[in-house]
Copies of this chain bind each other. A is one copy, B any other.
C-alpha cells in the first residue's frame, strides 16, 4: 500500500499532527521537521489530496465547461486556461457540452459532487439556471467569452458588438453594401450582428434580413449557407462570418463556384485561430485576445475561490480588427 501519514509519523517517531504541521508549514521544532522530512523522503510519501480535501481544504481542481473541444478556437482557450490554472496550482477538468442544456446540467452536477473549487463556462451557455444555482450556493463561477445579463457573476468577454461594428465598417469602407452575415447559434453572435446592423445604419445602408443566416458552426454548414447566399438573384459582395470555421466554409463555397477572394467576394471572420492564418488568402478577422481573456478568467475565479475577491466584475476587452487579404474593394 501507499504510505500514509501514519507511516511517516511512525518512521519519524512523532505524531501525525506534527507530520501534518510540517506539510502545511506550521511552526515545528527544527529537529522534528528534519526527521519528518527525512521520513517522507525515504518513504516517497505523497499526501492524499482526497483526504485533505475531505477535511475542508480545496480540491485545487476547477471545472471547465465549453461547447466543443474540437473547435480550434475553443481548444486554444482550453490550453490557455489550463496553463494559467497550472501556474496557480490548479488542475482543470474539461467537459464539452455541445451547447446542450442537459449536458451542462449533468456535468456541472457531477463536478460538484467531486467538489471542484469552481467553474468556468466558456463560449456559450444554454442553461442559465445551472449558473444561477451555482451562484446561489456560493460556488465560484466565471463566464468566459460569453456573458449573461440574467446572472450576477464574474465574466470576461470581448466586446462582440464592437467587433461586429468594426468588421461591417471595414467592409462598408471598401464599398460593400450587400454584406451577408453567417452567424452561429450563440449569444456572442447576436451581439456581433447588433454591431453589424448598427454600422450599416450609421452609413445609411438598408438592412436586409435575408442576408443574415444562422448555422451550426461547421465547415459544411458554412459552405452550404454561403453557397445559398451566392445563389440568390441579388447575392452579397461580402460575407461576415461569425467565426473562423464559417469563414473557411465560405471560402470553400466560393472556390467551388470559381469566385476569387477577395476579387469576387470579400470574406471576414472572427476569432483568429490557426485556420485564419493558414488560409489562402489569409483571413481578415476580428481578433479575440484569447490569452489575456483566459488568464483573467482564471485569476478572477481563483480570487473568488480564495475568498479574496471583493465585488463581482464584468471585464470587457476590446477586440482588434486585423486586416489581411480576404477583404478588398467592392467591384460591383
Residues of A bordering B, CB below 8 Å: 2, 46-51, 53-54, 59, 61, 68-70, 72, 75-76, 78-79, 82-83, 86, 91-96, 107, 109-115, 137, 219, 245, 248, 251-252, 255, 274-275, 277-280
Q: Contacts A274-B72, A278-B248 known; A95 to B82 CB distance under 8 Å? A: yes
Separation of A107 and B89 alpha carbons in the complex (Å): 10
- The SS class assigned to the A binding surface is helix
Check B61–A83 contact: CB distance below 8 A.
no
24 A–B contacts, CB within 8 A, in A order: A48-B113, A49-B115, A50-B50, A50-B114, A69-B69, A72-B72, A72-B75, A78-B94, A82-B95, A86-B95, A91-B110, A91-B114, A92-B93, A92-B94, A93-B93, A94-B94, A245-B274, A248-B278, A274-B275, A275-B275, A275-B278, A278-B278, A279-B279, A279-B280
Check B274–A219 contact: CB distance below 8 A.
yes
Copies per complex?
2
Contacts of A68 in B (CB 8 A): 79
Separation of A2 and B133 alpha carbons in the complex (Å): 13
| Chain B residue, CB-CB nearest to A114 | B49
| Chain B residue, CB-CB nearest to A2 | B137
Contacts of A48 in B (CB 8 A): 54, 113, 115
- Partner among B47, B78, B279 whose Cβ is within 8 Å of the Cβ of A69: B78
